[in-house]
Amino acid sequence: MQTYRQRKMEKQSIVSIKDLTKENILELLRVAELFEKNPNRRILAGKVVATLFFEPSTRTRLSFETAVNRLGGRVIGFSDPAATSTSKGETLKDTIKMVSNYADLIVMRHYLEGAAKYASEVTDVPVINAGDGAHQHPSQTMLDLYSIFKTQGRLDDITITMVGDLKYGRTVHSLLQALSHFRVKFNFVACRELKMPQEFIEFCVNNGIDFQEHTDFSPEVINSTDILYMTRVQRERFADLDEYERVKDLYSLNLNMLRDSKPNLRVLHPLPRVNEISQDVDDSEKAYYFEQAHNGLFARQAMICRSLGIDVKD
């Protein structure tokens, strides 16, 4: 049976992937691997984790809650803010202060960019950002990195093609920043309206990251790719729904498009998908998005332990 040695570390909020060094990231991947071997441990016995979801979620909330349950902790929280005192006008600050009276760790998704950072500044309880507006989604990034590592056997010397909503897709922003620690080549495939924001283009330039921008989702791009990272067009972030209608179906992957792709290519998607990946891709050995979501359980177990200051050794 696997055993774990535990040692106390400093507690740490994770509101941005930039809160983690390359060493932190590699350590989290190592711990995720341990949890994948055995996700059922009583490391969190006596701990209470609050999951505060001000925006809808399936995977992130349920995998965080499963992560806590499998480690022997307890979960409190909400998935419908309308059923909380937020609907009576309670501020985010007061909500966080109240929940801090009850929980050892707060996992929060919020529609406002910067909300997780603000929450972490008004409490001594560590906060994990489960997505803030179009800004950051660091736990998605950790499971993406874990999925890339598992499928490619490395994080260096790979070509990653990001497709779809590169403007509002917080997962691509976090992933791009995390992969700046490694030797990765990027293709950004998006229409003009949804192109990678200038801030992240400048980030690539300033950090010597090799990238190309495309509007055409061409066979040349697909066939040079190791990781094909598809994204959903984020309807909820559009001020103009006519614009959403114009761009929502521009990039869609079907099985035929993978015909001449590299044998090691894997298709990732943070999910939920709408029309970006045709269902005929699902049975391909190159489809990895459902396993990717499964990896979220182990990556989040590692992040929860890190935030609570629990050093997990095998």
From the list 60, 120, 177, 225, which residue makes contact with ligand CP (rule: CB under 6 A)? 60
Is 58 an interacting residue with respect to ligand CP (CB under 6 A)?
yes
Is 271 an interacting residue with respect to ligand CP (CB under 6 A)?
yes
Of 11-19, 41-49, 55-63, 301-309: span binding ligand CP (CB under 6 A): 55-63
The residue whose two tokens read 């419908």 is 80
Give how many residues touch ligand CP by CB under 6 A.
9
Beta strands 184-189; 158-163: pairing state: parallel
What type of residue is 189? V
Nearest approach, Cβ of residue 40 and ligand CP (Å): 23
Residues 221-260 that bind ligand CP (CB under 6 A): none
What type of residue is 298? F
Nearer to ligand CP, 41 or 109 (CB): 109
Is 57 an interacting residue with respect to ligand CP (CB under 6 A)?
yes
From the list 51, 140, 225, 234, which residue makes contact with ligand CP (rule: CB under 6 A)? 140
DSSP states of 141-185 as a string? Answer: HHHHHHHHHHHHS-SSSEEEEEES-TTT-HHHHHHHHHHTTS-EE
Is 59 an interacting residue with respect to ligand CP (CB under 6 A)?
yes
From the list 49, 270, 289, 305, which residue makes contact with ligand CP (rule: CB under 6 A)? 270
Taking alpha carbons only, the member of 9, 59, 95, 96 closest to residue 304 is 9
Of 51-59, 154-162, 236-244, 247-255: span binding ligand CP (CB under 6 A): 51-59
Nearer to ligand CP, 128 or 271 (CB): 271
Q: Are residues 49 and 74 in contact, defined by beta-carbon separation less than 8 angstroms?
A: yes
**C-alpha to C-alpha distance for 313 and 73, rounded to whole angstroms:** 19
Nearer to ligand CP, 60 or 301 (CB): 60
Nearest approach, Cβ of residue 56 and ligand CP (Å): 7
**C-alpha to C-alpha distance for 187 and 112, rounded to whole angstroms:** 28
**C-alpha to C-alpha distance for 105 and 102, rounded to whole angstroms:** 9
Residues 86-115 that bind ligand CP (CB under 6 A): none
Of 75-83, 227-235, 268-276, 284-292: span binding ligand CP (CB under 6 A): 268-276
Taking alpha carbons only, the member of 154, 232, 224, 162 closest to residue 190 is 162
Nearest approach, Cβ of residue 34 and ligand CP (Å): 23
Nearer to ligand CP, 297 or 310 (CB): 297
CA-to-CA dists, residue 45 to 37, 72, 108, 190, 284, angstroms: 20, 5, 21, 46, 40
Q: If 0-12 CB within 10 Å is exposed, 13-18 middle and 19+ buried, where does residue 244 land?
A: middle
Nearer to ligand CP, 211 or 289 (CB): 289
Which residues are near ligand CP by CB under 6 A? 57-60, 131, 140, 270-272
